[in-house]
Amino acid sequence: MLNLVFVVGAYLIGSISFAVLTSKAFGLPDPRSYGSGNPGATNVLRTGKKAAAALTLLGDAAKGWLAVYLTLKFGPQDAQLVGLVASVSIAVFLGHLFPVFFRFQGGKGVATALGILLALNPWLGLAAFGTWLVVAKVFKVSSLAALIAAACAPIYTWLFHEPLEYTAVAFTLALLLIWRHKKNIQNLLAGREGKIGGQT
C-alpha cells in the first residue's frame, strides 16, 4: 500500500504543468494555444518571456527530481527500493505527459526526464544535460538536442553502472520522448524544424 502511495503521489506531482501555471502568472496565453501547442519551456520561450520559460524549465525539472528524491529518502530502505524508484520515475514522467489536472494534455517531458536522471545520479543527469547543451549549441534545434540526449541516456546509465532497473527507466523515458517528438522528427526530416528562440 505504501508503494502505491509513492507511485500515485509521483503521478500527481508530475501532473502539475508549470508551463500553464507560469504563463498564467506572467499574463501570457495558454501555451497549448500557440506555437507547437506543447506546454513546455521551448514553446513558452516563443512569447519572448525568457523568465517565464526559465521558470517552466526549472519547475518541470524540479518535479521529476522531487518525486524520485522523496522516494529515495522516505521509501522502504530494503531490496524493494530500486524497483519502487523505477516505478516512481515512470509515474512522474507519465504525469507530465498526461496530467490529470489539465485534461491529460501534457508536455514532451524533456525537463522532467532531466530531473529524474539528476535524482537517480547527478552525474547521469549532468551527462545527459551536457549532451543536450552541445547539440543545441551546434545545431540550434531544441528537439534534435533532446532526441540525442534521450538516446544517450540509457548508455550513460549503463556506463555509470547503475542498477538494471534504472537503465530500463532511462530506456523507457527515451522511447516515450521519441514518441512525443514524432512531429518534430517529421519536421527535422523535412527541414522545417524551428530553431531555438525562433517563432516557428
**Digit-coded pLDDT (tens) for 42-91:** 889 888 889 999 999 999 999 999 999 999 999 999 999 999 999 999 99
Is 121 exposed, middle or buried (CB count within 10 Å of its CB: 0-12, 13-18, 19+)? Answer: middle
CA distances from 155 to 77, 88, 151, 169 (A): 27, 21, 8, 12
Question: pLDDT tens digit string along 2-52?
Answer: 899 999 999 999 999 999 999 999 999 999 888 778 898 888 988 888 999
pLDDT confidence of residue 200: 40
Q: In which band, very low, low, confident or very high, does the pLDDT at 1 lie, cut at 50, 70 and 90?
A: confident
